[in-house]
């Protein structure tokens, strides 16, 4: 993508494909079908991952109708953009030139960003920050030699420097690297987040619910994983909010850590019909879950406070 080296199909294969393509006559359905088959050789590998994801999801649900609709939507999403581009590319896009090389570099940087984003699920937060910082400074080395890219390059370099400041202050949030002014202050701020009791099985949860029943307490169960970016965002933003901590001060806080994604973790999630974290469940003193007030995904502190107030105001059955 950056011109360092190139991978090409062997010349004898290219020659045969071009020969087959040149023999196909345009203007008929058979010719279009053959061209589509030959084109699939090029774009097929790019579709393997999303297609596998759809098939796995369909296999888990066991719904044939949903599976057919999902595959139809996937094919429609693949085909419609190609039809639009093929029909209007001559009017919308400029002629071939240097802009194509620029586009290739931009997509290359985007692919590296996706790689860092995926690695953030398994790497420590500080290591992820370091990778983002290196990626932010990489466009500078690559593009700053052209005057037109100086502005974008300097912005990327500035963001990379801010990320290194975040590393120095132990701030794991890539979008807010200056949230803490010093490492000590940041450590104190992060320590203000909610404190959970860790559990790993349904049996442990039942023991917690029995204890809460004896003490007439509510229980909040949080499904968490280290590789879950939204879980980390909830911990840094929502759970550290003073009003949220005050509202939950009399609640038993329990956290199911499913980072390892072990059979026990998956069984725990299936017990509550959850696909994965994050998810927050509320249980009353009667040991029954308030199903209508589940929180799935990220929620801002104000909205989360509204949910809490609604849960605790609901009378016991």
The yes/no answer on whether domain 197-311 falls in CATH 3.40.30.10 is yes
Q: Which two tokens stand for residue 83?
A: 């039809």
pTM over 0.85: no
173-197 tens-digit pLDDT: 676 676 665 444 455 555 556 788 9
Given a contact cutoff of 8 angstroms between Cβ atoms, the answer to whether 25 and 31 are in contact is yes
Higher-confidence position of 80 and 42: 80
Task: Report long-range pairs for 44-50 (Cβ below 8 Å, ≥24 apart).
Answer: 47/74, 47/78, 50/74
- C-alpha 163/C-alpha 130 separation (Å) is 7
What pLDDT does residue 146 have? 59
Q: What is the mean pLDDT of residues 232-250?
A: 86
Q: Reduce the DSSP state of residue 307 to 3 states and report it.
A: helix
Q: Reduce the DSSP state of residue 296 to 3 states and report it.
A: strand
Q: Grade residue 315 by pLDDT with cuts at 50, 70 and 90.
A: very low
119 CB contacts (<8 Å, ≥6 apart)?
Answer: 128, 131
Q: What is the mean pLDDT of residues 205-216?
A: 92
Q: Helix 98-119 to helix 125-143 angle, to the nearest 10 degrees?
A: 170
> Which sequence spans correspond to the domains of the chain?
99-187, 197-311
- C-alpha 18/C-alpha 152 separation (Å) is 40
245-304 tens-digit pLDDT: 889 988 999 999 888 888 888 889 888 888 888 899 999 998 899 888 899 888 999 999
* Buried b / exposed e along 8-42 (16+ C-beta atoms within 10 A): eeeeeeeeeeeeeeeeeeeeeeeeeebeeeeeeee
Q: According to DSSP H, which parts of the chain are helical? A: 11-23, 29-61, 64-92, 98-119, 125-143, 150-168, 183-190, 202-215, 229-233, 242-247, 263-271, 301-313
CA 173, 175, 181: angle at the middle one, nearest 5? 60
Tell me what the pLDDT averaged over the chain comes to.
Answer: 77
């Amino acid at each position: 993508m950056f011109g360092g080296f190139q991978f090409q199909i062997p010349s004898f294969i290219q020659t045969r494909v071009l020969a087959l393509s040149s023999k196909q006559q345009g203007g008929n359905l058979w010719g279009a079908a053959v061209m589509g088959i030959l084109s699939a050789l090029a774009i097929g590998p790019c579709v393997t991952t999303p297609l596998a994801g759809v098939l796995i999801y369909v296999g888990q649900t066991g719904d044939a109708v949903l599976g057919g609709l999902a595959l139809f939507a996937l094919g429609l999403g693949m085909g419609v953009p190609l039809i639009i581009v093929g029909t209007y590319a001559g009017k919308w896009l400029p002629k071939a030139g240097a802009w194509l090389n620029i586009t290739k570099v931009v997509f290359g940087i985007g692919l590296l960003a996706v790689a860092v984003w995926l690695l953030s699920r398994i790497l420590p937060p500080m290591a992820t920050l370091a990778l983002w910082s290196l990626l932010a400074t990489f466009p500078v080395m690559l593009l700053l030699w052209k005057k037109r890219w100086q502005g974008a390059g300097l912005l990327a370099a500035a963001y990379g420097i801010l990320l290194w400041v975040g590393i120095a202050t132990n701030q794991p949030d890539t979008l807010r690297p200056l949230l803490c002014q010093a490492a000590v202050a940041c450590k104190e701020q992060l320590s203000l987040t909610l404190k959970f009791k860790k559990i790993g099985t349904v049996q442990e949860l039942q023991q917690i619910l029995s204890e809460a029943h004896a003490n007439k307490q509510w229980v909040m169960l949080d499904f968490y994983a280290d590789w879950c970016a939204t879980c980390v965002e909830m911990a840094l933003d929502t759970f550290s909010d003073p009003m949220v901590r005050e509202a939950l001060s009399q609640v038993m806080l329990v956290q199911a850590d499913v980072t390892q994604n072990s059979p026990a973790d998956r069984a725990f999630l299936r017990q509550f019909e959850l696909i994965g974290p994050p998810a927050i469940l509320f249980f009353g003193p009667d040991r029954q879950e308030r199903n209508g007030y589940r929180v799935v995904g990220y929620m801002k502190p104000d909205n989360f406070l509204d949910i809490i107030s609604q849960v605790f105001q609901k009378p016991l059955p």
